[in-house]
Each structure stands twice: as structure tokens, then as C-alpha cells.
């Protein structure tokens, strides 16, 4: 059995649009590795409202927490509200992706969820492709 991966809810959307760009080469390499693990069949994630696996190499991650704490908490809360999931819930990553697609992407709620993110232009461009 695989270990579950801790994941902030909004990071499931970041993963969907990731194209090998990031804050630094260290962050990008780490993100790519996490995504590879997540795409293994049967990989389970635990939804958390704190630092997750992706945060570990983020430059916004500081000793006392995230420098963007309010913004990411809002993104996470929006994802929780839109998907009907809850913090602490364990879910197969493939099922999580399906929920993101059906309850956020397919119904046009994505742009409102995290439009003020610094990476939003990449995501919005990829969404339109």
C-alpha cells in the first residue's frame, strides 16, 4: 500500500495546469516529482489546511507558515465548498481530479476560484486550449 500524500485542496488545480514552470528549479523539480507520485494508480491523498507536500519547496513557505496564508486558505476553502469535500478527508487522487473537473472546471467556476494567483494567466491560457 502506498503512503498517502498530504495535499492542500487548491493544489489539485495547480497540479492540473502545471507545465514545468515555478518559483525556482528546486521547486519545479519537487513539484514534478510529487505529480509523478500522485498519478500512480490508487494513490490516496489526505486533504489538509496546512503545509502539504508541495509547500515544502515553495519560497512562500516560512518557518512560521505561508507568507500567502490568507490567500491560500481562501483558495482551499473555495475548493472545499465547490467539491463538497472536507479537510482530513482521504480520497483517491484520480477521484479528486474527477471532482475538480465536474464541480469546478466543467461548470465554469475556475476563474473565480483563484483568479488573483500569480500563476493564474498560465492556468487560464491552458484551460482555453
Three-state DSSP string of the chain: CCCCEEECCCHHHHHHHCCCCCCCHHHHHHHHHHHHHHCCCCCEEEECCCCCCHHHHCCCEECCEECCHHHHHHHHHHHHHHHCCCCCCEEEHHHHHHHHHHHHHCCCCHHHHHCCCCCHHHHHHHHHC
pLDDT band at 86 (very low <50, low <70, confident <90, very high): very high
pLDDT band at 102 (very low <50, low <70, confident <90, very high): very high
pLDDT at 129: 62
For 5-45, write each residue's pLDDT tens digit.
999 999 998 888 888 877 788 888 999 999 999 999 999 99
pTM higher than the cut 0.75: yes
For 51-81, write each residue's pLDDT tens digit.
999 998 888 888 888 888 899 999 999 999 9
Amino acid at each position: 500500500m502506498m503512503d498517502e500524500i498530504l495535499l492542500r485542496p487548491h493544489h489539485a488545480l495547480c497540479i492540473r495546469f502545471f507545465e514545468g514552470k515555478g518559483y525556482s528549479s528546486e521547486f519545479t523539480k519537487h513539484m514534478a516529482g510529487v505529480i509523478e507520485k500522485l498519478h500512480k494508480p490508487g494513490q490516496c491523498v489526505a486533504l489538509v489546511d496546512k503545509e502539504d507536500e508541495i509547500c515544502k519547496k515553495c519560497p512562500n513557505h516560512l518557518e512560521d507558515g505561508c507568507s500567502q496564508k490568507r490567500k491560500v486558505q481562501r483558495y482551499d476553502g473555495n475548493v472545499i465548498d465547490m467539491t463538497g469535500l472536507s479537510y482530513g478527508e482521504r480520497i483517491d487522487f484520480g477521484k479528486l481530479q474527477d471532482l475538480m473537473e465536474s464541480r469546478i472546471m466543467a461548470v465554469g467556476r475556475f476563474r473565480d476560484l483563484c483568479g488573483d494567483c500569480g500563476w493564474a494567466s498560465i492556468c487560464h491560457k491552458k484551460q482555453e486550449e
